Amino acid sequence: MTMTHRAVLIQGYGGAEAAQVGALPMPVPGRGQVRVRVRAAGINGIDWKVREGYLREVFPLQLPAVLGAELAGVVDAVGPDAGRFKLGDRVMGAVGGLGAYAEFIVVDERSLAPTPDRLDDLHAAAMPVAAVAAWKSLHHAGALRPGQRILIHGAAGGLGGYAVQYAKQAGTEVFATAATEHLDYVRSLGADHVIDYQAQRFEDIARDIDLVLDYVGGTVLDRSWQVLAQDGVIVGTTSADILARTPPGRRGLWFMNRPDVALLEKLALDVASGALTSKVGEVIALTDIPAAIERNRTTSRAGKVVADLSR
């Protein structure tokens, strides 16, 4: 086995040029850990936010740091007292921090879920962050009820696509915003009212909304207060200052995701059985990850971008 492996890392905070492919020593699993040969890794918004230093106060890093929050792969080595997985087991998971954009990674075995046989690595890598975060953010403000009116901003993206499906399964009435080219995809997920944000104002269509899921942020958050029902709530994942931007008499909640292996196992089985759709919108190579991180910052797309590390 070679003594080094490739990874996408940052030496310091900065723009698109800060993320680069480099070589690192081969990691060795410690107590309760396994080493995973990474086959695929999902691209997420947290990558560019970390890269630019926006999260350095709440998510401090020791630089240089390897980016990447979710993966699918194969157990390559097992550390002392690790007994949940054996060599050759297919696994998936959120790494509980960063480090997934590497050919090999050492992970606490408790952070990983078994990959279902009928789920390929690319679709498995698209799930651990988005599928779990969408579920938890949808329920962050309380239990859902049939007939509840929900507005999902960014419905074609990784989180939004799952959230539309979960909301429909709960019997709610779903309003969803998406770009023109993604409208049919969002309709296929079950949204009742699909709003083309490039040609329509959601404020003119959505009314008396009980729950807004804001996966977009910026001015979209500020415009969303007016569509709420009297006791409605906005759950935001992109605007950390949502509490400061909540008008008097309104309710806004900031959501930060945390890995949940048990929930991931359930949702992965749903995707494997066809009960839940997981969309991979683009497949790239490891060397393309830095450019894909920047595109995630500037461009909307349907589904997840996933890196195939076998390329």
Per DSSP, the three-state class of 49 is helix
Report H helices in the chain.
Answer: 45-51, 121-125, 130-138, 158-169, 183-188, 219-224, 261-273, 289-298
How much is the pLDDT for 1? 63
How much is the pLDDT for 181? 95
How much is the pLDDT for 238? 86
What pLDDT tens digit does each residue of the chain (311 aa) get?
679 999 999 999 999 999 999 999 999 999 999 999 999 999 998 899 899 988 787 777 889 999 999 999 999 999 999 999 999 999 999 997 899 999 999 999 999 999 999 999 999 999 999 999 999 999 999 999 999 999 999 999 999 999 999 999 999 999 999 999 999 999 999 999 999 999 999 999 999 999 999 999 899 999 999 999 999 999 999 888 899 999 999 999 999 898 999 999 999 999 999 999 999 999 999 999 999 999 988 888 899 999 999 88
- CA–CA gap between residue 127 and residue 39 (Å, rounded): 14
Which of 77, 95, 93, 89 has the alpha carbon at shortest distance from 117? Answer: 89
How much is the pLDDT for 54? 82
